[in-house]
């Protein structure tokens, strides 16, 4: 039982490049979400999903896209990276969104 797995752990991009952060969970959780963590700002919700085929925006969705084709996977896409997207990104899942959030190990992204 791996829990929530994120890849890559570290990534450096140039402004304008695109990339996808991968997130997978093996707990059969319906609810999955992406957060970004910046110093002094806590964890801010980017996008979330309550089940396969359903996604919705969080507090800071601009510049990010998501999709949820399966229960297990919830990738986060940056179409044209900007320095303001330099951050640590966490994927998290929970059972039906009503209890504990299980976080991945995080992905540290630097945009130059």
Which positions lie near another protein, rule CB under 8 A? Answer: 31, 33, 35, 40-45, 48, 50, 56, 58-59, 90, 97-101, 103-106
Q: By C-alpha distance, which of 79, 88, 82, 84 is closest to 108?
A: 88
In terms of CB distance, is 17 or 102 closer to another protein?
102
Question: What is the nearest approach in angstroms of another protein to the Cβ of residue 60?
Answer: 10
Q: By C-alpha distance, which of 75, 26, 14 is closest to 49?
A: 75
Distance CA 81, CA 1 (A): 33
In terms of CB distance, is 67 or 94 closer to another protein?
94
Question: What is the nearest approach in angstroms of another protein to the Cβ of residue 17?
Answer: 26
In terms of CB distance, is 6 or 85 closer to another protein?
6
Question: What is the nearest approach in angstroms of another protein to the Cβ of residue 15?
Answer: 26
User: Using DSSP, how many helices (H) and how many strands (E) does the chain show?
Assistant: 0, 11
């Amino acid at each position: 039982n791996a829990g929530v797995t994120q890849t890559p752990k570290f990534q450096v991009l140039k402004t304008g490049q695109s990339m996808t952060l991968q997130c997978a969970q093996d707990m059969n959780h319906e609810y999955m979400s992406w957060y970004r963590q910046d110093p002094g700002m806590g964890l801010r919700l980017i996008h979330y999903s309550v089940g396969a085929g359903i996604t919705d925006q969080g507090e800071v969705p601009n510049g990010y896209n998501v999709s949820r084709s399966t229960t297990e996977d919830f990738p986060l896409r940056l179409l044209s990276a900007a320095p303001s997207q330099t951050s640590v990104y966490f994927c998290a899942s929970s059972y039906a969104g009503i209890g504990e959030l299980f976080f991945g190990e995080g992905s540290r992204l630097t945009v130059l």
